[in-house]
Amino acid sequence: MILDRLANADLYAPLHPRFAAAFRFLRDTDFTKLADGEHEIDGRNLFVAVESVQGRGRAGSKLEAHRRYIDIQVAVAGADEIGLKPVAACRDVELDYDEGHDCSLFRDRPENWIALPAGSFVVFFPDDGHAPLATANPVRKAVVKVLIDG
């Protein structure tokens, strides 16, 4: 997991061949003009899901993990809170890995919580269990999905 400000995103571009394009999109996009929904940046290699939602609170957030995509999450309006627990430490599987949705869900509770204020980003790799939308407030988020291979 990486947590930092968008102003520092270029530091992380060397970690994956698609990170530079992902961070460029996040910095250059006017999210007030981008509709909620999925938008392709580079086909299914790199795309963004934008949503304006009410947070679920800590009790309502669920740990999830992905295998095919890395998540880069940004709160574009409001702030989010996200729970964390390594996938290797998760013991109570709610949903076995669903290849179509690239997602596993766990009933385990997060070990740690982080704040994701506007202007910051968090990167979740496949071994990072994360429980997004743990804020109790409304938030508008962009989640860039970065294909790991291919």
pLDDT computed for residue 27 by the predictor: 95
pLDDT per residue over 60-94, tens digit each? 999 999 999 999 999 999 999 999 999 999 999 99
Write the burial class of residue 121 (CB in 10 Å: 0-12 exposed, 13-18 middle, 19+ buried). Answer: buried
Degrees, nearest 5: CA angle 65-67-71: 65
Cα dihedral across residues 67, 139, 24, 85: positive or negative: negative
pLDDT per residue over 91-147, tens digit each? 999 999 999 999 999 999 999 999 999 999 999 999 999 999 999 999 999 999 999
Domain with 75, as residue range(s), is 2-147
How many domains are contained in the chain? 1
pLDDT per residue over 5-35, tens digit each? 999 999 999 999 999 999 999 999 999 999 9
CATH value at residue 30: 2.60.120.370
